[in-house]
Amino acid sequence: MAGVLLATAPAAADTVPIPTETPAPTPTVTPVPEPQVLPAGSEIGMAEVTRTIERVRVDISPSSGRFGVGQLITAKFSAPVRFRAKAEQAMTVTSPDPLPAGSWGWIDSTTAVYRPKQFWPGRTKINVNLDLRKVRLNSDASTIWVGGKTTTRVDSFRTARSLIAKINANSHQMKVYRDGKLVKVFGVSLGKPGFATRSGVKIITGEKYRWQRMTSGDLGLTDEYYDLNVPYAVRITPTGEFVHGAPWAASRIGQWNGSHGCTNLNVGPAKWFFNHVRAGDVTVTVNTGRAMETWNGSPGSYWNYTWAQWKAKSAL
């Protein structure tokens, strides 16, 4: 039988794997945060912010309670204010009742005081409306200072009845007006030559003493001596002026001036005055020949600026 040739497949050649390229690793990129951009219309500004933001606080005094019609409003900031006009625009003073014109005045970089042109009306509510949150108040190369979240609010206080004591060195009288009506006339004795009482507006501080020791040493006197326990003493300046009882001076009260600068009253009138005045009540002294200083008893002493002088302290 003829041999049958069986066809066989040729031996497969050894398969040589084709090398494949190892994919290059994807580079790791640390994302760079975009600079903070403030919302459109923000008071802070439209530019990119790469500086530190510092929040500023503001304290208003008084922010509650009842005061006399001479009480001024103080705004104390926790950081210096450079953009003062913006700050003033965001601090308005209102009332349900008509108010006299008023203006903020800057005492220093952190302190503004609001003073009306005339004394406040009695028996009314005074609102200090703050809208300072996010308002830019200052900036430098590294920091922006803006109003913090508590700087948009309303603080309020009330005025009591109007009580104004008018003191005249020539007539040696104090006339007390309540709500514009004369209610009391008292004899007084003011400062003698060399110790003249100051003429001008002085605001009751609220500092009162049933008894107060006063000595010649308090004034640095070396040519005379006294050591007195003074009844019903009401402070009207930080430099030492009081309205007080002076039983040792009864012969000159209502007649001539002989004190060391205080306003002397007989004991009965001094007690009445002591019991009826409160912080913010007004005294106005005239005809002494010595002017009241604008620094002597802030903020009440700021009534002694003319209105034009006071408005010049505003940034608006």
**CA-CA distance, 284 to 291, in Å (whole number)?**
12
CA distance 192 to 261: 7
Cα–Cα distance, 171 to 233 (Å, whole number) = 22
Average pLDDT (271-280) is: 98
Nearest-angstrom CA–CA distance, 101 and 193: 38
Distances (CA, A) of 48 to 34, 44, 52, 142: 9, 10, 12, 13
- Residue 38, pLDDT > 80, answer no
- Convert the pLDDT of each residue in 126-182 to its tens digit: 999 999 999 999 999 999 999 999 999 999 999 999 999 999 999 999 999 999 999
Q: Hey, where are the domains in the chain?
A: 48-159, 163-302
pLDDT band for position 11 (cuts 50, 70, 90) = very low
Q: What count of residues does the chain have?
A: 316
Report pTM.
Answer: 0.83
CATH topology of domain 163-302: L,D-transpeptidase catalytic domain-like (2.40.440)
Q: What is the pLDDT of residue 40?
A: 42
pLDDT average, residue stretch 74-93: 98
Question: Bigger pLDDT: 266 or 216?
Answer: 266
Predicted confidence band at 225 (pLDDT cuts at 50, 70, 90)? confident
Q: Decide which of 48 and 253 is more confident.
A: 253
Does residue 100 have a pLDDT over 80? yes
- Quick one: pLDDT at residue 113? 98
- Which of these CATH numbers, 3.40.720.10, 2.60.40.3710, 3.90.1150.10, 3.40.50.720, describes 48-159? 2.60.40.3710
Q: Does 135 or 8 have the greater pLDDT score?
A: 135
